[in-house]
Structure 1
Amino acid sequence: MSEPALRRIPLEKFVDLKVDYAFKQLFGSEKNKDITVVFLNAILKRSGRQAIKEIAFDNLEIGGEYQDDKQSRLDILVKTQDNEFINVEVQLTNQYDMVKRTLFYWSRVYNSQLQKGMGYNKLLPTITINICNFNLFDQTDAFHNIFHLYEQEEKFRMDDVLEIHFIEMNKFIKQWHAKKLNPWNDILARWLLLLGMVDGRNKKVYNEIFQELEELAMKDEKLQDAFGVWQDLSRSKEEIYAYEARLKYILDEEAKLDDARYLADKEGRQKGLEEGLEKGLEQGLEQGLEQGLEQGLEKGKLLEKEETVKRLFKLSLTAEQIVEATSLDSAIVERIIKELSSNK
């Protein structure tokens, strides 16, 4: 196949498919249903499930996690021929709440099956697939991890109703560069290369990934079809405008979180150091200047982190996000938040 047959636009014009808007246009559209089926089967192959033959798209609205939250629509939600739900979410940036957010969304989708007068035994498995553009699990180098409900000691499965996939793109790209993956005999690797070719955040396109995809598309008709849809999306003025607006919003929110963490850390460090030194010097008059300074600095570090917690809480960050930002024990963070809430 000649290059023009696959690429009719410059590489730098391709949108980043890891941005949820673009991802939905390719994999969440009725007209691209065949592409979505192949993509889902490539992911679910490892869990040994029966191959998907037919899907129907669903637009389930998930209620907010908190009282005043707006409704949010899942990225892609489909029902298979066996009436199993599959929810696919793509996350460009790390908001430090991925695991708990995933369990919350999974529970809402699972619960949505239950109708009045329906027995619990009628509830069918619900599958969640998360594609993350960041590292999530430090415990493993594997880029694709699958979670179920297991007994702790003997590891037998309690039920098959819960299945959650996490795909970490950074780990995948690293392994591909190290030549530890072979997309020629690994269908999932082909589709993840498609997602990894463009880095919208840094306005970068990996030409070496395109070259491999170009060769792979010669033997993979659905991959070639996906390229065609991707190109149409990437040259539509209306779609580009919507994509760029969405990417800007995501990056702005990421910057706000980074700024909040930096400012809170800076203010907390200064105040904590001042208070800690003051307390330490007072104690030093009685126990010796050297010991007092040492204890004061230690106290200052703790006070610094406590001030950081207070600052982040006032900026509406969750307890989990604050634990991630401060490295404090969750019990300490929860205690400080409880004290702040009781003083309102």
Structure 2
Amino acid sequence: MPDKITPGPGKYIDPLVDFAFKKIFGSEPNKDLLIAFLNEVFRGRKHIIDLVYDKNEHHGDIKEEGAAIFDLLCTGDDGEKFLIEVQRGRQGYFKERSLFYTSRLISDQAPKGRRTEWAYKLSGVYLVALLEDFTLQTEKSTEYLHHICLCNIETGEVFYDKLGYTYIELRKFVKTEGDLETDLDKWLYVLKNMSHMDKIPAYLRKPIFDKLFNIAEYTNLTKEEKTMYDSSLKYKWDNKNVLDYALKEGFEKGIEKGIEKGIEKGIEKGKLEEAKEIAREMKKDGLPIAQISKFTKLSIEEIEKL
């Protein structure tokens, strides 16, 4: 197996690493960043004024159904649900998983227990997925932004506008600094390249981007946050080395289908294993179990077993 690539942190944290994404976009003091980004994604089709963060774990109606773990789940000022996901590697049945997650958020709106007057009045549900290292089986297309909705297949007319899926294929976003035209271009360029920058570029000198770069500066993290980010970054690169090696070996031996299946199963468990790895590092540093639980979302029982 090749040597592991374990680069150290740069001046700015990588926004696409799990911890960093939630640090930047997933806390109440920083929700203006998420609102600004989502408003650019929706390009005037929606205008979000405020967001409330919801729990990122959604339990099914029956015990056997298990829980869905979201990266970020928010409720808009009109009661709409926004599910924001970062997907780093290819995953089997990713489209189906998107449908399953949003379906849960729809069915959860039904009154529980005693029947009440409801009449199926639903709030909107929207998924925004940032795809880092894979595409949606549209390799020939250069389009990186996909807005999906229910429509009439014959006329293209929108049938229902309160359920939407936005997929952003960052691998296909290849614009350079000179190509950036819209604020969405700037957001996507920053998400993809911030960890390699050593200062905020002049063309990003707006209050919202000033705040983004200030939050993302590695030296501004607390000791606990540095531990979590370093572990999260190490996990990302270790995982990439393993997947790259598995694919290389599989293709050379002509067993790529089996290798890809194994990779898909591994990615399914990735977020949980990443959280456990971060928790182990925090335990080594002597941080309180309750604080580790708060940061990693693992239960105290799970952490004590590590």
Pairwise CA distance, 1:258: 4.5
2: distance between equivalents of 1:181 and 1:238?
35
Q: CA offsets, 1:284-340, max 9 Å, x none?
A: xxxxxxxxxxxxxxxxxxxx78xx54x776x5856xx9xxxxxxxxxxxxxxxxxxx
| Matched residue, 1:168 | 169
| Matched residue, 2:76 | 80
> Structure 1 or 2: larger helix share?
1
Higher RCO (C-alpha 8 Å, min separation 6):
2
Structure 1, unmatched stretches of 5+, are 1-10, 200-204, 270-303, 322-344
Instruction: Summarize the alignment of residues 196-275 of structure 1 with structure 2, pairs less than 5 Å apart.
Output: 196-198=192-194, 205-206=196-197, 210=199, 213-218=200-205, 220-231=206-217, 235-261=221-247, 269=254
Identity rate of aligned residues, in percent?
25
| Matched residue, 2:158 | 157
Q: Is the Cα contact below 8 Å between 2:243 and 2:263 reproduced in 1?
A: no
Q: Which letter does structure 1 place at the counterpart of 2:120?
A: N
Pairwise CA distance, 1:85: 0.4
Going from structure 1 to structure 2, the CA distance change for 1:120 and 1:127 (only over 3 Å counts) comes to farther
Secondary structure, in 3 states, of the residue corresponding to 2:86? strand
RMSD: 3.3
Structure with higher Rg: it is: 1
Going from structure 1 to structure 2, the CA distance change for 1:129 and 1:247 (only over 3 Å counts) comes to same
| Matched residue, 1:53 | 49
Q: Is the Cα contact below 8 Å between 2:56 and 2:71 reproduced in 1?
A: no
Q: Is the Cα contact below 8 Å between 2:88 and 2:134 reproduced in 1?
A: no
Q: CA offsets, 1:43-94, max 9 Å, x none?
A: 1115x12x11111000141358xx9896453111111110000011112233
Structure 2, unmatched stretches of 5+, are 1-8, 269-306
Q: Which letter does structure 2 place at the counterpart of 1:175?
A: K
| Matched residue, 1:35 | 33
Q: Which letter does structure 2 place at the counterpart of 1:125?
A: G
| Matched residue, 1:190 | 186
Q: Which letter does structure 2 place at the counterpart of 1:166?
A: Y
| Matched residue, 1:103 | 99
2: distance between equivalents of 1:15 and 1:120?
47
Q: Which letter does structure 1 place at the counterpart of 2:123?
A: L
1: distance between equivalents of 2:117 and 2:240?
43
What TM-score does the superposition give when structure 2 sets the normalisation length? 0.70
Q: Is the Cα contact below 8 Å between 2:14 and 2:191 reproduced in 1?
A: yes
Q: CA offsets, 1:191-223, max 9 Å, x none?
A: 222212245xxxxx156xx5xx421343x1111
Going from structure 1 to structure 2, the CA distance change for 1:250 and 1:232 (only over 3 Å counts) comes to closer
Secondary structure, in 3 states, of the residue corresponding to 1:121? coil
Q: CA offsets, 1:115-169, max 9 Å, x none?
A: 2246352111101001111241324212211000112111112211321111122
2: distance between equivalents of 1:29 and 1:166?
23
| Matched residue, 2:42 | 44
Q: Which letter does structure 2 place at the counterpart of 1:150?
A: C
Secondary structure, in 3 states, of the residue corresponding to 1:15? coil
Secondary structure, in 3 states, of the residue corresponding to 1:34? helix
